[in-house]
């Protein structure tokens, strides 16, 4: 699936600069400088991500025009992910945009790496929530494990306790975080998600805590950090298991003192956020001080919620399959079909190393490709778990002894095999696999969808 990104900014130079930057990474990057053209553009197709300037009319900085466009975008049946842009480092305006459904914000002039990361993250989120209408899809499941999880969520949500959500890739940790926020006293505030594993060390503090204009060469304007932007709401720290130790120390200080000092500021600012964190590290690794600081762990894991892998709650499979097939049939305007008994049996017996995300992709694939009167097993493209990759030297020997497979395979098939092998090697850990393959997590998610893995 190639992404469609739209940049909506009345400054043609700004729009073109962003377009040039993003065009190298995304399938289709369009610009629009006159917001009155938006309805016609949307009628031709809704983008996956919109970079939306909040200040259109020169000299006016109340952002009302941008917010009205945001409402229009959010009202689409399949709303795009929106990243709000403001030239004025205007925290209240950015926060208002987040409350009204923007997924993120950046301030102009932007940092290129930050803009790229924001679009990647938005694409990941938008592919995760596409078809769910406004807001996040509901946390589905009637198995005993899911009923217990939902009842735990209901009891911890109204408290202010920090919650740590544990579980394999794709089990629904982010959905759990959203459910906690939605049932909390902070529900009227924003929930801001930060991929801690993807934050470059060089911009970690500025991203999370903000900075003052002039505090370093690229600090051309004041910038609010995520802690300030999520004020009154929930900060979802995703992939905390991938944080370098130095970054863990900085986060610990903030959580202990309940205040942040933006870079270049002389006074700290009190924070008012509830922290929900998540990781797919197994608990043995999480409790290894060489990987994760024990003192930070104890700050974050006041309550621990474990989301079981799908293979341990197979009875949820039919419900999830029915839900996602219906979603994609509608999205791709495909006819409704029943799932054959044999296919349902295969789906229930499958081990789902990529959990619900993989099931969702399998349903999307089936909805697009199915031709028969009902869905058959082959429509779902299930791949039996691949044998773990050999250690590097053994793999090299094996390749040298048996170079044939690559010769018989198309580039597509080779890519699929490389991805499946790498995922198996890291037990489905998306971050590690993406790193090894040399692509971003968002790009890997898109490729998983493309190959139906």
Give me the DSSP letters along 66-125: HHHHHHHHHTSSSPPEEEEEETT--HHHHHHHHHTT--EEEESSPPHHHHHHHHHHHHHH
Q: Which is nearer to ligand ATP, 14 or 307 (CB)?
A: 307
* Partners of residue 278 on adjacent β-strands: 165
Q: CB of residue 331 vs ligand ATP: minimum separation in angstroms?
A: 13
Q: Which is nearer to ligand ATP, 175 or 260 (CB)?
A: 175
Q: Please answer whether residues 285 and 241 qualify as being in contact, where contact means their C-beta atoms are separated by less than 8 angstroms.
A: yes
Q: Which is nearer to ligand ATP, 8 or 117 (CB)?
A: 117
Q: CB of residue 73 vs ligand ATP: minimum separation in angstroms?
A: 20
Q: CB of residue 203 vs ligand ATP: minimum separation in angstroms?
A: 21
Q: Which is nearer to ligand ATP, 180 or 430 (CB)?
A: 430
The bridge status of strand 163-166 relative to strand 104-107 is unpaired
Q: Which is nearer to ligand ATP, 146 or 260 (CB)?
A: 146
Q: CB of residue 173 vs ligand ATP: minimum separation in angstroms?
A: 3
CA distance 131 to 319: 16
Q: Which is nearer to ligand ATP, 178 or 211 (CB)?
A: 178
CA distance 19 to 159: 44
User: At 85, phi and psi to the nearest 5?
Assistant: -120, 135
Residue 293: exposure state from Cβ atoms within 10 A (0-12, 13-18, ≥19): middle
Q: CB of residue 449 vs ligand ATP: minimum separation in angstroms?
A: 10
Interacting residue ranges for ligand ATP, rule: CB under 6 A: 128, 137, 139-141, 167, 169-175, 238, 278, 280, 320, 356-357, 360, 430
Q: Which is nearer to ligand ATP, 26 or 357 (CB)?
A: 357
Contacts of 200 (CB under 8 A, 6+ apart): 113, 117
Q: Please answer whether residues 89 and 223 qualify as being in contact, where contact means their C-beta atoms are separated by less than 8 angstroms.
A: yes
Contacts of 180 (CB under 8 A, 6+ apart): 153, 156, 157, 163, 234, 276
Report how many helices (DSSP H) and strands (DSSP E) the chain contains, helices first. Answer: 20, 16
Q: CB of residue 140 vs ligand ATP: minimum separation in angstroms?
A: 4
CA distance 174 to 307: 10
Q: Which is nearer to ligand ATP, 115 or 276 (CB)?
A: 276
Alpha-carbon torsion angle 116, 264, 89, 223, nearest 10:
30
Alpha carbons within 13 angstroms on the beta-carbon side of residue 381 total 21
Q: CB of residue 434 vs ligand ATP: minimum separation in angstroms?
A: 10
Residue 65: exposure state from Cβ atoms within 10 A (0-12, 13-18, ≥19): middle
CA distance 178 to 192: 10
Q: CB of residue 164 vs ligand ATP: minimum separation in angstroms?
A: 13
Q: CB of residue 378 vs ligand ATP: minimum separation in angstroms?
A: 23
Q: CB of residue 253 vs ligand ATP: minimum separation in angstroms?
A: 26
CA distance 81 to 95: 16
For ligand ATP, the nearest residue by Cβ is: 172
Q: Which is nearer to ligand ATP, 348 or 376 (CB)?
A: 348
Contacts of 127 (CB under 8 A, 6+ apart): 1, 48, 445, 446, 449
Q: CB of residue 143 vs ligand ATP: minimum separation in angstroms?
A: 10
Residue identified by tokens 């959580």 is 255
* Partners of residue 374 on adjacent β-strands: 338
Q: Which is nearer to ligand ATP, 90 or 174 (CB)?
A: 174
Q: Which is nearer to ligand ATP, 61 or 303 (CB)?
A: 303
Q: CB of residue 238 vs ligand ATP: minimum separation in angstroms?
A: 6
Q: Which is nearer to ligand ATP, 257 or 285 (CB)?
A: 285
């Amino acid at each position: 699936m190639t992404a469609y990104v739209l940049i909506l900014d009345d400054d043609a130079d700004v729009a073109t600069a962003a377009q040039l930057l993003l065009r190298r990474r995304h399938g289709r990057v369009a610009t629009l400088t006159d917001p009155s053209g938006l309805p016609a553009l949307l009628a031709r197709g809704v983008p996956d991500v919109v970079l939306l300037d909040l200040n259109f009319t020169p000299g006016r900085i109340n952002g009302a025009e941008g917010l009205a466009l945001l409402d229009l975008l959010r009202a689409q049946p399949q709303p795009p992910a929106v990243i709000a842009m403001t030239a004025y480092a205007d925290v209240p305006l950015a926060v208002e945009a987040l409350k009204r459904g923007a997924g993120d914000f950046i301030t102009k002039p932007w940092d290129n790496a930050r803009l790229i990361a924001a679009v990647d993250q938005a694409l990941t989120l938008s592919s995760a929530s596409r078809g769910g209408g406004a807001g996040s899809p509901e946390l589905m499941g009637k198995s005993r494990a899911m009923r217990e999880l939902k009842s735990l969520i209901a009891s911890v949500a109204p408290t202010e306790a920090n919650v740590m959500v544990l579980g394999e890739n794709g089990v629904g940790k982010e959905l759990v975080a959203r459910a906690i926020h939605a049932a909390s006293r902070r529900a009227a505030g924003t929930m801001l998600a930060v991929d801690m594993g993807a934050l470059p060390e060089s911009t970690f503090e500025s991203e999370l805590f903000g900075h003052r204009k002039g505090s370093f060469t690229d600090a051309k304007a004041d910038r609010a950090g995520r802690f300030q932007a999520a004020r009154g709401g929930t900060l979802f720290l995703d992939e905390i298991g991938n944080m370098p130790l130095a970054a863990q120390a900085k986060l610990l200080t903030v959580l202990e003192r309940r205040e942040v000092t933006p870079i270049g500021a002389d006074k700290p600012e009190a924070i008012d956020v509830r922290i929900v964190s998540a990781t797919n590290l197994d608990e043995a690794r999480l409790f290894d001080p060489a990987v994760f600081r024990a003192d930070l762990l104890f700050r974050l894991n006041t309550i621990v919620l474990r989301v079981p892998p799908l293979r341990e709650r197979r009875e949820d499979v039919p419900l999830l399959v029915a839900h996602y097939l219906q979603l994609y049939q509608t999205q791709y305007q495909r006819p409704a079909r029943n799932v054959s008994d044999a296919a349902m049996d295969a789906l229930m017996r499958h081990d789902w190393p990529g959990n619900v995300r993989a099931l969702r992709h399998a349903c999307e694939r089936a909805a697009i490709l199915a031709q028969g009167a009902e869905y058959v097993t082959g429509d779902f493209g299930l791949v039996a778990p691949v044998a773990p990759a050999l250690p590097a030297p053994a793999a090299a020997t094996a390749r040298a002894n048996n170079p044939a497979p690559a010769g018989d395979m198309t580039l597509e098939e080779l890519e699929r095999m490389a991805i499946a092998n790498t995922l198996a090697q890291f037990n489905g850990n998306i971050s590690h696999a993406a790193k090894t393959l040399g692509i971003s997590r968002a790009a890997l998610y898109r490729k998983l969808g493309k190959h139906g893995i």
